[in-house]
Chains A and B, each alone.
Chain A
Amino acid sequence: MSSQGRPLKGLFDPGSVAVIGASSTEGKIGHTLLKNIVTSGYEGDIYPINIKGGEAFGIEFLTSVDDLPDGVDLAVIAIPAKFVKDSLKGCGKRGVKHAIIISSGFSEVGNVEMEEDLVSIAEDYGMRLLGPNVFGVYSSTADLNATFGPAKVRKGNIALISQSGALGIAMIGMTAEQYLGLSAIVSVGNKSDIDDMDLVDHFAHDHESEVIMIYMEGLPKGREFLEKVKDMPDDKAIVAIKAGRSEKGATAVASHTGSLAGSDRIFSAAFEQGGILRAKDLREAFDWSRLISSTVLPEREKTVIITNGGGIGVLAADAAEEYGVPLLDDQTFLKETFSDTIPPFGSTKNPIDLTGQAGREEYEKAMRAALESDEVGAVVGLYCETGVTDPMETAEVMKTLYEEYKDDKPMVFTFTGGEFVNECVEWLRKERVPAFIETDDAISSMGALFKRKRFIKRMKDGVVSERIDLDIEKIEEVINDVREAGRTTLLEDEARRIIENVGIPMAEGKVVSSLEECIDVAEDIGYPVVLKVVSEDIIHKTEAGGLVLDLENREELIDAYQAIYSNCKSKYPDAHIRGISVAEMLHGGEEVIVGGTNDPSFGPVVMFGLGGVYVEVLKDVVFRVAPVTRKEATRMMGDINAFPVLVGARGQKRKDLGALSEVIYKLSHLMYEVEDISEIDLNPVKAFDQGKGCKAVDVAITLKREAV
């Protein structure tokens, strides 16, 4: 359902709340709802309604919606589905502007029409609807707990949006237990009106919320979501848990790109691109939110780890490498700054090892030195339980320092040991200090913070993606011819025309239909040449024996021509062979793949990676939502495992990365601009040495199937 686009203030800061389906019987949802609202500290007017009347918590129930005063801000409806419509109508007549429909039994069980009726009523009365099938809303702004979940919610600056009602309720309890403070919690239910994007939009502009944590299972309007997120202020962050990692998305087997583009990979890529921090599970999401909501972004990319144990320091250093937390490694500076904070047998090598006897004074001295230094961007304090120091004293120091410097530098603290040490962590968390038991969790959270920082910096470098020069008319001409022929797969010469139109360089070549023509073209291009079968029915040419490389003279050419026809006819007797492509043989260079496909959530996406015949075995590819900027195209290259090969490993020369990024950039725009295209594979693209450009060797383009 599409959003009606009006603000949601009344949902999260209502002046008055009606509870339709309120109950005086303990254990009923209507009773818990009312109880939570009353005991949460809400100061607005509360109007419980039950057709049978009643009383609870000192409030007399109304018996009809019609008895409501004019202009109640929010109605929370928790009655059987069949009665919701009339109640909603009644609310509309009384001028209610927002309704939360807790009731289930609508589209989630197939009653789509019933739900559409509700939306219709809401539209008629200018009302916003949350649900149906939700657990309600908590909002710290209004001190309102209009949910049937746990009553106890800690106030804070994390807004929690959940696509799962049950998990959302569980998260209320979890956050409270872990001392995470919430500004709001809401489930989206059936999204008949208000959806994730409306909520993200609201929280992005809500002063109470600094982190938006989202649990999601699907995102149909992924691209729109990314657009919304891009407009978020820098001081907000989104932490998302996207369930369904093992889900096999619908894949098109027509191309390598299609078969590699599992939906989860695209989600990760899209989130990365949009600056959304994707946590692998709830714990990670909570950890990251804990830190991000309680600190500033690092000014510099240098972190110092201060520890009283060498072992835990090493673990932290390992984790720092894994999570992209760069450690300050200027040994001269480290020595100058920290040598008088450690005993002679300590270490200033980062992690700074204060040794096992370090107590509050030693920690304070070392940490203050780090926090005061302009060279240091972030600080990690690690404490290992010893028999000679009091962990609580160290915890108190950390709290003091945190409160003093929290607006200057991000800090995390870990306490490793037994029960007493864990109590220190609990105490620190209660005091809103970002403390952890596991070192890995602490560093991972710091990593998330750095990721966020880097993303903001990248956005400041420029997000505008220029349009490229496309002769759309010529491209559409090719596409129309293909469609008229009843195909969706372009033949090589057709695909070549489109690719060359965009300015992507291709190996010189032509499709021929006779041996004579083949010889003429080959000798025109110059040996060595490559021969490839051209047939929409033969996708994997190598396996069909339809591809022969490096033909150096006429004799070899003639034999290869015959072999291709013979192989393809015997392997694919029903295939329509339209000709043989003759192309220049490109020696040298590294083989990469550049491709495009369409994701159900995010639309056109572009792929880059190590190419050639083993692309689907090695799977060293990365994705981005199209179109990308030239800078983003360059970053894509840096993200593949084989990147060192491109920059020159083992004595090899650096490849022309500028030319490659241009291909990625242009292909991404082609995918974006030409909606008819379903998939594109340029595989391989040969990347030559710096200054010598690149060329696509093979191209495959598939069109979207037209709706019947």
Chain B
Amino acid sequence: MKNIIISSTEADAGKTTIGMGIALSSKKKFNYFKPFGDRPIYKKKRLIDYDAKLFKNILELDVEYEKFCIGFDHSKIKYAFDEDTIKQKIVERIDELSKGKDGVIIETGEDWRFGSSVSLDPASLYGMLDAEIIIVACGTRTNIVDDLAAVARYFDALDIPIKGAVLNKVESEEDIKNFAVKDIEDMGLKVLGIVPEIKEFDLTSVEFINDMLFGKVVAGHTGLNNIVENVFVGALSVDEMLRNPNYFKKRKLMVTGGDRSDVILASLEEGTSGVILTNDIIPPSNIISKADRAGIPLIVVPLDTYEAAKRIERMESITTIEDDYKIEKIKEKVTTRLNIDL
């Protein structure tokens, strides 16, 4: 049985992407488990994890959503389990998920320390299961080395072996190969792959943004799957806007006040994936009709323009199940760069 615990040096290092790369590149059949959910979708009064939903659909896993996670918040874990019962639960769940599979990809939370107080960190999980640990690291050549050094020292002290490290979202593969790989190997860590930053992964859909902002779609529902590559804040006159080269970038998300009819109308003419209308202002019906015809979603949010733009910028782009091309990118750019003997 090949259980793989995937952890990382920091949050958003790309554990899910790498996990998916491993699953897609291997001939083995994997199930998925994320004990501590951290990308919750709350629908119909139940919590499920985005990443779990993604894995279920991509790998066509016949598992109920509730089985992929055992909690989303420390308070819940502490309430439901103690040290003994949590081990029992994890073992039971892995046994269940392993049936008919060659192994389970177990994704831990945020980073290698996360979940320590409730025995859901990678070190604790290793102690409960027959598994190998892979660490995903990202960043510049210097911080990757530092971070991995700290991780290696920690796991060494606990006498826990690490199968290796995947260096993810690197700006320059050449740079990493020349200046970081040797240092990492000298620590006793095997480099299992070097994966570049994939720009396409910064993209997301209008629907995802709507979900994250709790917006109300008032027009252009057919365009909710439109991809967003750029964000443009429409807080200037239309004349000035048309002089700004950023305005003409394709697949832009326009963020503007709902009463800025001039800006909204201009947006509906040119390369716009969607429009976020701030301050809870619904535009006139002629604009709504035009957006419907153009298939460009108009999304009303109660936030002001600054707050909305700030939130969008902070949003992590995560792979969503509709993003077929993203999955293709993972196959193309991740699986080909992994060298993991499973």
Interface residues, chain A, with chain B CB atoms under 8 Å away: 514-516, 519, 540, 542-545, 548, 550-552, 556, 558-563, 565-567, 570-571, 616-617
Contact = CB atoms under 8 A, between A and B. Distances in A.
Given A515-B79, A516-B79, A543-B302, A566 B45 contact: no
A559 B282 contact: no
A544 B76 contact: no
Contacts of B311: 571
A565 B73 contact: yes
B288 interface: no
A515 B282 CA distance: 38
Contacts of A563: 40, 42, 47, 72
- Interface pairs A-B: 4 shortest CB-CB: A563-B42, A562-B73, A562-B72, A515-B75
Interface in B10-34: none
Interface string B33-44: 000000010100
B199 interface: no
B99 interface: no
Given A559-B45, A559-B46, A566 B73 contact: yes
Given A543-B214, A543-B302, A544-B214, A560 B75 contact: no
B42 to A, nearest CB: 4
Interface in B52-96: 71-73, 75-76, 78-80
Contact of A561 (B76, B78, B301): B76
A516 B79 CA distance: 7
A567 B42 contact: yes
Contact of B45 (A542, A548, A565): A548
A643 B116 CA distance: 58
B318 to A, nearest CB: 12
A467 B80 CA distance: 52
Contact of B47 (A514, A515, A562): A562
Given A515-B78, A558-B80, 5 more contacts: A542-B214, A545-B214, A552-B45, A559-B42, A559-B46
B42 A560 contact: yes
Interface size class for chain B? 20 to 34
A542 B280 CA distance: 13
Interface string B188-211: 000000000000000000000000
B45 A551 contact: yes
Contacts of A567: 40, 42
Contacts of B280: 616
Interface in B197-229: 212, 214
24 contacts: A514-B75, A515-B73, A515-B76, A519-B79, A540-B302, A548-B45, A550-B45, A556-B45, A558-B76, A558-B80, A559-B45, A559-B47, A559-B72, A560-B42, A561-B75, A562-B40, A562-B72, A562-B73, A562-B75, A563-B72, A565-B73, A566-B42, A567-B42, A571-B311
Nearest to B47: A559
A540 B304 CA distance: 13
Contacts of A565: 73, 75
Interface string B264-294: 0000000000000000101000000000000
Nearest to B304: A253
B301 A562 contact: no
Contact of B79 (A545, A548, A558): A558
A561 B73 contact: yes
Contacts of A571: 214, 311
A152 B78 CA distance: 90
B46 A545 contact: no
A543 B301 contact: yes
A545 B42 CA distance: 9
Nearest to B43: A563
Contacts of A552: 45
